[in-house]
């Protein structure tokens, strides 16, 4: 029994350390301004007619960047649902768009704790596991994006622009918003494309 426990713990040790590193990465990106910069630029391109699909895409990009659906939904997602109320569009549909985007990143990001842990437990290559999940995750995401696009066009919004000038100014005061903050995201994408093992990300 002791030998079995040692073997089981040894099989997930690397995954546990990766999970700790991912948590530290998310906190670092929040404090350094990478995630706020994504929010800052993303909100500026939103319009009421395309709000739902834009929300899906923004949450998908952020979740792919940090590998956490819950963090995405609990930070950017909450803000986007709040903005939907200002626009006069449905907060319920906006919440659905947030979840649709967030779970795409949860399944396909090389930083996703569930994706890493599953690959470690079944002793599969991480990129092979991600490719296998893409067969179901990407069609589901595209289907949801099409539906949200139709809903955004059919349901006439009350306003044509997101009234977030004050919010964006406050965000810019708290963080030093600059495109340079997106360099960690660019580095992550490059490492992922080059199939560098996640322990080096």
3-state SS class at 187: helix
pLDDT at 200: 52
> What pLDDT score does 198 carry?
54
CA distances from 90 to 58, 71, 97 (A): 18, 22, 11
Alpha-carbon gap, residue 148 to 143, rounded angstroms: 9
Task: Find all residues with CB under 8 Å of 33, minimum gap 6, and list them.
Answer: 175, 176, 177, 178, 181
| pLDDT at site 165 | 63
Q: Are 200 and 191 in contact (CB under 8 A)?
A: yes
pLDDT at 195: 62
**Confidence at residue 157, expressed as pLDDT on a 0 to 100 scale:** 56
pLDDT along the chain (201 residues), means of 10: 69 66 72 76 71 86 76 74 74 89 81 72 76 84 89 66 59 77 77 61 51
Q: Which CB contacts under 8 angstroms, 24+ apart, belong to 180-185?
A: 181/32, 181/33, 181/34, 181/36, 181/37, 182/34, 182/37, 182/38, 184/29, 184/32, 184/34, 185/34, 185/38, 185/65
Given this model, what pLDDT does residue 180 score? 86
Q: Could you give the C-alpha distances from 92 to 110, 158, 178, in angstroms and in order?
A: 29, 16, 32
Q: Which two tokens stand for residue 82?
A: 């709040």
Q: Which residue has the tokens 């080059």?
A: 194
Separation of alpha carbons 110 and 40, rounded Å:
24
Model pLDDT, residue 90: 84
Q: Kindly list the distances between the CA atom of residue 114 and the CA atoms of 22, 64, 108, 133, in Å, as whole numbers in the listed order.
A: 11, 13, 10, 12
In the chain, domain spans: 12-175
Which pLDDT does position 78 carry in this prediction?
A: 72
């Amino acid at each position: 029994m002791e030998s079995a426990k040692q073997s089981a713990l040894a099989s997930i040790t690397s995954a546990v350390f990766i999970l700790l590193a991912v948590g530290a990465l998310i906190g670092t990106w929040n404090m350094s301004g990478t995630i706020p910069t994504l929010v800052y630029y993303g909100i500026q391109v939103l319009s009421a007619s395309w709000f739902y699909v834009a929300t899906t895409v923004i949450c998908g990009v952020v979740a792919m960047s940090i590998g956490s659906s819950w963090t995405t939904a609990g930070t950017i997602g909450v803000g986007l649902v709040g903005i939907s109320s200002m626009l006069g569009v449905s907060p319920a549909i906006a919440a659905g768009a947030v979840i649709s985007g967030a779970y795409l990143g949860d399944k396909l990001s090389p930083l996703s704790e569930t994706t890493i842990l599953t690959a470690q437990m079944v002793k599969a290559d991480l990129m092979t596991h991600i490719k296998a999940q893409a067969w179901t995750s990407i069609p589901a995401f595209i289907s949801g994006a099409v539906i949200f696009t139709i809903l955004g066009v059919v349901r006439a919004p009350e306003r044509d622009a997101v009234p977030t000038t004050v919010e964006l100014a406050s965000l810019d005061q708290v963080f030093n918003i600059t495109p340079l903050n997106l360099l960690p995201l660019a580095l992550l994408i490059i490492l992922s494309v080059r199939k560098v093992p996640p322990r080096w990300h």
